[in-house]
């Protein structure tokens, strides 16, 4: 890991220079300030997101110390690394990240220091999406449980190498059984929504894998970037779609501004339609982050069940 420090310093300097007033860092998973380095004899695994923190916890438990770069609730697409993040990456005995350009502002640094849990994915299993007029790979693979299990396998191999501990394989087997049970729950739950009502309207384009898995159509006027504003044309098209298909509800996300969905509601009502905005504490979809630790949705399985329950209960 140390042999990459010079490359990492060069890459991160560019990010820090551009980070004035942007993003946060030096925080734990709940966004609280923390010191890097644990002083523990356990190896340190540095992860970029709350998804990977949970994954490593499920696989390795208390056998490692975990450092998280992007706090829960922050937007990984926009997060800009800080000097404290540099310390976390430099000090990590293992660095795991999503890949597929999910951590958009940190790609160069992560490719120099870490392992992408998506690196062995088959391109045929990935979906694409439009961004700024170009076709790009959709990075939100975790809404495909089979792909998420492949990411678990990649993390398992890296943790076994780090710890020289084959018992990680047993933990992975047990965890993947829980993921299979989650998939069964989802398949049964979605049947409560009729096929003609399976329309998922969200702010940004994060649910394509979800939609493919459960035979839904997803519409996101904001597109893939959580930073961009939806165009008037996209909003108008979405409003027409809601009215024409009598969509019952549209959903806010935990990492986007719910006001954007309220605008949709107003425009729908102006055209004589009616739609409910599902938002507020405990009533938002999780897309790019799990909930902060201790809250509903703070593990991958709880997050997915929360999302499925929220969608079904408001569309059926």
pLDDT at residue 149 above 90?
Answer: yes
Whether residues 7 and 89 share a domain: the answer is yes
Same domain, 20 and 168: yes
Per the domain annotation, does 185 fall within a domain? no
The answer to whether residues 21 and 153 belong to one domain is yes
Residue 182 lies in a domain: no
Q: Are residues 173 and 216 in the same domain?
A: no
183 domain residue, yes or no: no
The pLDDT confidence band at residue 14, using thresholds 50, 70 and 90, is very low
- How many domains are contained in the chain? 2
298 and 166 fall within a common domain: no
The domain that holds 153 is classified in CATH as 3.40.50.1980
The answer to the question of residue 299 being in a domain is yes
Mean pLDDT of all residues in 247-269: 90
Task: Report the mean per-residue pLDDT for the chain.
Answer: 86
Is the residue at 186 inside a domain?
A: no
Q: Are residues 26 and 155 in the same domain?
A: yes
Domain stop point among 177, 200, 215: 177
Q: 105 and 210: one domain?
A: no
Residue 267 pLDDT:
94
Residue 233's pLDDT is 76
Query: Are 195 and 297 part of one and the same domain?
Result: yes
Q: What confidence score (pLDDT) does residue 28 get? A: 53
Q: What is the pLDDT confidence band of residue 222, given thresholds at 50, 70 and 90? A: low
User: For residue 82, what are the contacts with CB-CB under 8 A and spacing of at least 6?
Assistant: 16, 19, 23, 24, 25, 26
Is 290 among the domain residues? Answer: yes
Identify the pLDDT of residue 31.
47
pLDDT digits (tens, 9 = 90+) for 116-137: 999 999 999 999 987 777 889 9
Q: Residue range 166-184: average pLDDT?
A: 97
Instruction: Give the domain range for residue 217.
Output: 191-315
Please report the pLDDT score of residue 73 as a whole number.
87
The pTM of this model reads: 0.84
Band of pLDDT at residue 257, cut at 50, 70 and 90: confident
Query: Is the same domain home to 146 and 202?
Result: no
Residue 227 has pLDDT above 70, yes or no: no
* pLDDT value for 256: 79
pLDDT reading at 258 higher than 90: no
- Same-domain status, 25 and 88: yes
Q: 62-91: per-residue pLDDT in tens?
A: 999 999 999 998 888 888 889 999 889 989
The verdict on 158 and 200 lying in the same domain is no
Cβ pair 284, 252 in contact under 8 A: yes
Q: Is the pLDDT of residue 8 over 60?
A: no
Q: What percent of the chain has pLDDT over 70?
A: 84
Shared-domain flag, residues 216 and 170: no
If you average pLDDT over each of 31-45, 115-129, 227-241, 256-270, which comes out highest? 115-129
């Amino acid at each position: 890991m140390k042999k990459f420090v010079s490359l990492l310093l060069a890459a991160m300097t560019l990010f820090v220079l551009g980070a004035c007033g942007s993003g946060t860092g030096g925080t734990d998973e709940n966004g609280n300030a923390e010191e890097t380095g644990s002083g523990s004899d356990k190896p340190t695994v540095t992860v970029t997101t709350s998804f990977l923190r949970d994954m490593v916890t499920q696989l390795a438990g208390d056998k490692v110390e975990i450092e998280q770069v992007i706090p829960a609730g922050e937007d990984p697409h926009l997060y800009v690394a800080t000097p404290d993040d540099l310390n976390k990456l430099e000090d990590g005995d293992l660095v795991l990240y999503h890949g597929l350009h999910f951590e958009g502002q940190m790609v160069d640094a992560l490719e120099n220091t870490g392992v992408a849990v998506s690196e062995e994915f088959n391109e045929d299993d990935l979906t694409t999406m439009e961004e700024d007029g170009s076709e790009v790979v959709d990075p939100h693979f975790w809404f495909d449980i089979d792909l998420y299990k492949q990411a678990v396998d990649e993390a398992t191999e890296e943790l076994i190498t780090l710890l020289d501990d084959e018992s990680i394989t047993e933990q992975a087997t047990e965890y993947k059984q829980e993921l299979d049970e989650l998939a069964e729950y989802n398949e049964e739950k979605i049947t409560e929504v009729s096929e003609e009502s399976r329309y998922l309207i969200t702010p940004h384009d994060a649910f394509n894998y979800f939609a493919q898995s459960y035979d839904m159509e997803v519409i996101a006027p904001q597109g893939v970037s959580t930073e961009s504003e939806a165009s008037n044309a996209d909003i108008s098209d979405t409003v027409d779609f809601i009215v024409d298909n009598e969509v019952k509800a549209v959903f806010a996300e935990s990492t986007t501004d719910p006001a954007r969905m309220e605008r949709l509601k107003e425009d729908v009502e102006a055209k004589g339609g009616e739609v409910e905005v599902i938002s507020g504490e405990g009533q938002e979809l999780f897309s790019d982050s799990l909930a902060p630790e201790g809250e509903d949705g703070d593990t991958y399985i709880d997050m997915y069940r929360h999302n499925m329950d929220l969608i079904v209960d408001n569309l059926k």
